[in-house]
Amino acid sequence: MKNFKLTLVAFLIFMGLSHSTRSLAQSNEQMAKASQNPVSNFFNFPFQNNTNYNFGPYERTQNVLNIQPVIPFSLGTKVNMINRVIVPIITQPSFTEDNSSTGLGDVLYTAWFSPAKASKLIWGVGPVFQLPTASDSNSGSEFGSGEFGIGPSVVLLSMINQWVVGAVINQINTFGDASTSKFFINYFINYNLPKAWYIVSAPIVTANWKADDGQKWLVPFGGGIGKVVKLGGKIPLSMQIQVFYNAIKPDAFGDWGTRFQLHFMFPTKSMKEKMKAAN
């Protein structure tokens, strides 16, 4: 209930900020599309807070704050290297007691190699690594497997008029006593509205291949709304809130979850030059 209230307060702040901001120029509406592109030529700093309600046998609240900076580098004139790090801060309910604890999960690092010249289909491929950073990993951490993992990662998207549609797909296998095998797909559908508003549906679907039958998949459906504003008239900030219903889920999960995200954006030198030339 406490996390639900915090989410509600965040939403009210979000709405207040958006109403107090004057109408954005066309370039700022393009920023909304850029914020929806995982391989855009921007330094991106999203803070994504995911809350799952009625989690575990005591029906407590699980909260996962993903701090996920995205840093692009140019590898010559034809290829960009997009580096993404996801640092999860997890509040995890206990399965044996009616309490929760907070710790660091396993960090994910992805390196996508993407064409520097944009086309109708934007894509990137590369490896994804799981780093064994989970708190108390030596004693069977509740925050992650605490094992090194590696696998392939693909990002695909297309921008057609007001639409931005795509997906990030990972498969990670770890090595050790837990020896996990997990699949991840974050598909996203965005429809951009005037004045830098947008409608978004971006659920995260996961599969644990080594879990028991009926416990492998978590398949949420839902969506929400977002808006891009400029802090101090200079720094683009994309804000969004989404609500999800878990249509397929392991027994530990409840029916509902929410996401609140703040996404700060800073253009690279080459992007600044393109934006200046466009103006």
Supply the pLDDT for residue 16. 45
Torsion of CA 221, 40, 48, 131, to 10 degrees: 100
Q: Where are the beta strands (DSSP E) in the chain?
A: 42-55, 60-67, 70-75, 79-93, 100-104, 107-115, 121-131, 149-160, 163-174, 181-192, 197-201, 204-208, 217-231, 235-248, 256-267
Distance CA 228, CA 57 (A): 39
Residue type, 7: T
Distance CA 166, CA 70 (A): 17
Which tokens sit at 220? 């949420």
Q: Are strands 100-104 and 79-93 parallel, antiparallel or unpaired?
A: antiparallel
Mean of all residue pLDDT scores within the chain: 87
On whether the CB atoms of residues 135 and 142 are closer than 8 A, the answer is: no
Tens digit of each residue's pLDDT (9 = 90 or more) over 49-100: 999 999 999 999 999 999 999 999 999 889 999 999 999 999 999 999 999 9
Give the single-character DSSP code of 136: T
Tens digit of each residue's pLDDT (9 = 90 or more) over 109-137: 999 999 988 788 999 999 999 999 998 74
What is the 3 state secondary structure string of 15-54?
HHHHHHCCCCCHHHHHHHHHHCCCCCCEEEEEEEEEEEEE
Tens digit of each residue's pLDDT (9 = 90 or more) over 139-157: 446 898 889 999 999 999 9
Supply the pLDDT for residue 232. 85
Supply the pLDDT for residue 141. 63
Distance CA 13, CA 24 (A): 19
Task: Catalogue all structural domains in the chain, each as residue range(s) with its CATH number.
Answer: 2-278 (2.40.160.40)
On whether the CB atoms of residues 45 and 267 are closer than 8 A, the answer is: no
